[in-house]
Structure 1
């Protein structure tokens, strides 16, 4: 298991615990009391660390290489019922954006979301979760198909941003994202959005308009990444921690500003520390949200969604 810088005290205690257990197994010495003391200290250390995370540390957790990605959530929620669909019917199939039909229980959903890779080869294959215009057009095609058949949409967001290459701009990156935002505001089926990792810039907004928008506890959502913000303001990445604080990008910050509807609690140590619990919590959130939204007519859905976004950023003096 990989550890982040601020998790090193946890690593040391876990190594001590492993050695203690090993000594107990390989000798006649009773070390049970010592092991219990280390376990107790380990639990308390975890609570102390994860209770007081800074904005930058949450950004680091959102990028943890062991963190579950979109396809992990979809497969855990749907099992063998998930059918991935491909292509935007114009250019090609963007591997950074996945989508398809699946069932949670007896209810069908159309899933879309950015997908990152697990190692160097798959990260290149998935373009590090940075979608091209054809990725956003594929997502829109699938969402419009869902609308046609009355199927609710679930979007998982996890991207460092839309792909910024010249070829992406030539094929209309800005237009593709803007078109998705427009079409999602007036889609006549429920849309549930869950930010499971990074939610950066227009790359996240391109599939981020929803009736209910949730953030996992250790994720971030912002117009720009802390590193990019630091490089613009201070001409250096050294101030990324200061930028992360200033951007107010954590789940708690976003909820306080009424920009998201809820925070999904993660297990102690992050989503990757207990995947099954994370998947179960996300499943319950999606199902409970859908149970609320299915009571609304298509017209009511669209009106409430538009009113929700129209009211964002409105302050009374």
Structure 2
């Protein structure tokens, strides 16, 4: 009934569904495949290397230990395990299940991502899933689903919902998203949604235009202009942001981000990355010099 999937979620347009539904901050520990620890030259009965050895996998389930980088001496450093499997149900419905369990002396956390997709003809597909996350000390159960419809060649409409149960609180979220591609460089994305919890409802809308490089994906230059609107009770927030990334020279890139809201407060961020270490060192001296200047001269009283 269940076999290894010949088709996966990527074929149905749900390659990043786990990232889109994840509303938690990233975990400190990331599961990575670890090789066997090298045996010490002399035997030590307190060394866990002799007790924990990885075996060759014989199952389709991908199981990996979770390494704690800040472990104690003579500690094997494994605080949890991560298991992942992709399968097909009746050879028609690709599914994906990922479980991560962590336990130490202070807290226990579990993270589950499961989803199953179905295709309706050539231009539409649906996805449904159940997630379990640990928020604080309480487990949160999330039911989510969405449907994608490709109206025309360059237009795709998505509608989805999610229901979150956290203790005695239930939160319901609805969203509608439409993406339109104008040629190979310009794309427009419009989305709107609503979130209801404990009798209150918040509404939001977002409009984004993205201009990519002429030689994309080889070229890394791209500019994005976004407008977002959110309304909750009597509060109204309007934000505009501009992001641009381009190459200064070979091996050097600059990223510029401008943000402004309806209260006339915003942020300007400039980030430069280069392969030349000398340039990085010189740029690092700029904030140091500015801090020294403020500490010595900016605090002096002005003379009349």
Normalization by structure 1: what TM-score? 0.22
**Larger fraction in strand:** 2
Greater RCO, CA 8 A, separation 6+: 1
**Larger fraction in helix:** 1
Normalization by structure 2: what TM-score? 0.23
